[in-house]
Structure 1
Amino acid sequence: MTIHPDIAKVLSTLPAPDGSPLSPQAMRADEAAQVPPADKRLPLHAVADAIADTETGDVPVRIYTSDEGQTHGLLIYFHGGAFFLGSLDTHDHVARALARETGHLVISVGYRLAPEAAFPAGLEDCYAVVRWAAAHGETLGWDGRNLAIAGDSSGGNFVAAVAGMARDRGFTGITHQILFYPSVDLDFDEGRYPSMRENAVGYGLETAGLKPFNAFYLESGADPADPLVSPIKRQDLTGLPPALVITAEHDPLRDEGELYGRRLEGFGVAATVSRYDGANHGFVQNFSWIPEFYRVFEETAEFLKAAK
């Protein structure tokens, strides 16, 4: 189907890429300026900033509690942003919606960003916070059941990579992995996936922009051939947690996400792949106010209840 009309209206207002160099500092400032004030955000029972004292050092986190329950499942959330953008604030609304719809205690991770922090700093922060949350479950109010990880775009990359790291390092506590339009293959050869050609231009994220946007991460030492950088290249996916992979019809990254889901199934991992028609890359962050796209949070809640 065609792009959703509300998304099309927004896309029509965006300036065409002019090929000028990207400035992480300027782009982060622009993102920060668009964050709504606290009183305009989805209200929850409690939202608190904290510091996770982990093996990689102190990592800022934001903890979201949807209700007065004494214990909850845990959902660790890794924000997107091509590894150099995004923050606890820019994705605050996503974490709030996840908390409200799933009933889980959501811990959003303020991991270190490229290019200032070279690979694998941000990835190690995410893994370390998962281990920290598991170790501090009693203090956090964990019910001892679900310990899920979720992320969008590059955050989805971190989800897949962290799931693999956990298996390799003998940590079996992760119960679910949730990937929203993940970037799981950082080899940006346009011939690899039809969606890179079908959705190359006009849908927000453009295929020609993939290399420059991810250059800060790749130039910091992240090798696209490394399964921790391109999780779809992991040879053996057995033993990974059940997965929900959300993709968008009009996204250059659509096919790699769907292939990752099929590969998981091929190794005996329960995987649900759900494509949102009429959506583009980033719709969970940018367009979840549209009712049919807000459904993604409800689908996430259903997955957490059903998957074992």
Structure 2
Amino acid sequence: MSRESPFRRPSLDSAVAAFEQRIAPLLDPEPTDPAGRRRVARENDARVSAALEIRPLGTATLDRIVPVEGHPDVRVRVYWPTEERPAPDADLPMLVYFYGGGFTIAGIDWVTWDARFRQRAHDAGIVIVAADYDHAPEQRFPTQPEQCWSAFEWAHANAAELGASPERIAVGGASSGGDLAAAVTLMNRDRSNHTIALQILENPALDLTIGHADMKGISAGMPGVIVRKAGRELVRQYLGDDTATARLAYASPLLASSHEDLPPALILTSELDPLRGDGEAYARALSAAGVAVTAVRFIGQTHGSLGCTGHVPSADAAHGLIVSQLRALHAGSVR
């Protein structure tokens, strides 16, 4: 009698499958033109949020416009952990964060992202500054990393006024926002060398040549050739037609010539996400460069499922892990 191999093909978490089945009837198909796709995606976000009764916490916020030299200004939103804005001497940790959306959709006004920022600021007891960087293809690289860099510089310069400590700032992002967050840490090392206490990268895209994408975990219903084609189209919209641009360090942080002197990192990846190859390769590159790094792969999860808190247990665990790392900044350390 043969024994079943413990190394079976990865399978989708049952909680994720149930969640996807629940929201599928609520989603309208997205058109192919960028503006139409962005509009429908936002409508889908609002519809799903209403059906799931996602209600953002009533924490204090403030919007500001930050100038960006040589590029369009960027809007940022400050999220405080309580309903009242803290005093300037509160000395709270701060997270500068960049949302995910394939460089082409989403934003800080989406219900899901706004709710996530409010909940994370509240649970970790920190200040969050979220940058509403421009979308491709209307604006292309290097506009987005320059906008995110300017948002980080503004947050650092105004930290005390915002009730935060300039010595306890973290930088984070998800998916394409993870790419931008990692780029900002490189830009900071190259330009200002401000103290960054931690970088948090959630299912990040870090090699826009698609050279590290890992197709082994995706389902047979989504062949790797289709995933690669879709990925390359998003990259083309962001970077343009010159394929050499994808090898620039601020476009593909994984391909930077050096990863020394970068901030300690927490990197989350998902088993059924082609971008897990990017995140795990980056963890190895940081470790090899002497950077303290913790990398966690979530079994049975997809690219977006770690955002489904309250519905997927692994998403709740990921939220708890991130919050614990951010709360450690209150003591001045993530170790």
Of 73, 90, 94, the residue aligned with 1:58 is: 73
Shift of 1:42: 3.0
CA contact (8 A) 1:102 1:298 kept: no
Partner residue, 1:147:
169
Partner residue, 2:57:
43
Matched AA of 2:334: A
CA contact (8 A) 1:118 1:221 kept: no
Shift of 1:64: 1.1
Of 11, 15, 26, the residue aligned with 1:2 is: 11
Shift of 1:263: 0.8
Of 219, 225, 229, the residue aligned with 2:240 is: 219
Shift of 1:5: 1.6
Rate the CA distance shift 1:196–1:167 in 2: closer, same or farther, 3 A: same
C-alpha distance in structure 2 between counterparts of 1:140 and 1:241, whole Å = 23
Structure 1, residues 191-243: CA drift from partner, whole Å, max 9, x if none? x55x2243265479934421123221121767111111111111211100001
Rate the CA distance shift 1:220–1:14 in 2: closer, same or farther, 3 A: farther
Matched, 1:23 2:33: yes
Partner residue, 1:280:
302
C-alpha distance in structure 2 between counterparts of 1:283 and 1:101, whole Å = 20
Partner residue, 1:80:
100
CA contact (8 A) 1:53 1:132 kept: no
SS class of match (2:11): coil
CA contact (8 A) 1:119 1:221 kept: no
After the TM superposition, which residues 1-308 of structure 1 pair with which residues of structure 2 at under 5 Å, given as runs? 2-11=11-20, 22-33=32-43, 34-35=45-46, 36=49, 40-55=54-69, 56=71, 58-67=73-82, 68=84, 69-70=86-87, 71=90, 72-90=92-110, 91-189=113-211, 192-193=212-213, 195-199=214-218, 201-202=220-221, 206-219=227-240, 223-286=245-308, 289-304=311-326, 305=328, 306-307=333-334
Rate the CA distance shift 1:296–1:238 in 2: closer, same or farther, 3 A: same
CA contact (8 A) 1:200 1:252 kept: no
Structure 1, residues 109-137: CA drift from partner, whole Å, max 9, x if none? 11111111121001100000100011112
C-alpha distance in structure 2 between counterparts of 1:113 and 1:128, whole Å = 16
Which stretch shows the higher mean deviation, 90-99 or 146-155? 90-99
C-alpha distance in structure 1 between counterparts of 2:248 and 2:166, whole Å = 33
Report runs of 4+ in structure 1 exceeding 6 Å deviation: none
Matched AA of 1:28: R
SS class of match (1:269): coil
Shift of 1:283: 2.1
Shift of 1:287: 5.4
Which stretch shows the higher mean deviation, 211-220 or 196-205? 196-205
CA contact (8 A) 1:276 1:293 kept: no
C-alpha distance in structure 1 between counterparts of 2:24 and 2:236, whole Å = 22
Identity over aligned pairs, percent: 31
CA RMSD of aligned residues (A): 2.6
Matched AA of 1:213: L
Partner residue, 2:7:
none
TM-score normalised per structure 1: 0.88
C-alpha distance in structure 2 between counterparts of 1:150 and 1:290, whole Å = 22
Structure 1, residues 235-261: CA drift from partner, whole Å, max 9, x if none? 211100001100001101112211101
CA contact (8 A) 2:19 2:311 kept: no
Shift of 1:172: 2.2
Shift of 1:57: 5.3
C-alpha distance in structure 1 between counterparts of 2:265 and 2:62, whole Å = 28
**Structure with the greater alpha carbon radius of gyration:** 2
Count of aligned residue pairs for this structure pair: 300
SS class of match (2:137): coil
CA contact (8 A) 2:101 2:177 kept: yes
C-alpha distance in structure 2 between counterparts of 1:92 and 1:274, whole Å = 25
Shift of 1:83: 0.8
Rate the CA distance shift 1:125–1:282 in 2: closer, same or farther, 3 A: same
Unaligned runs of 5+ in 1: none
Rate the CA distance shift 1:167–1:21 in 2: closer, same or farther, 3 A: same
Matched AA of 1:297: H
TM-score normalised per structure 2: 0.81
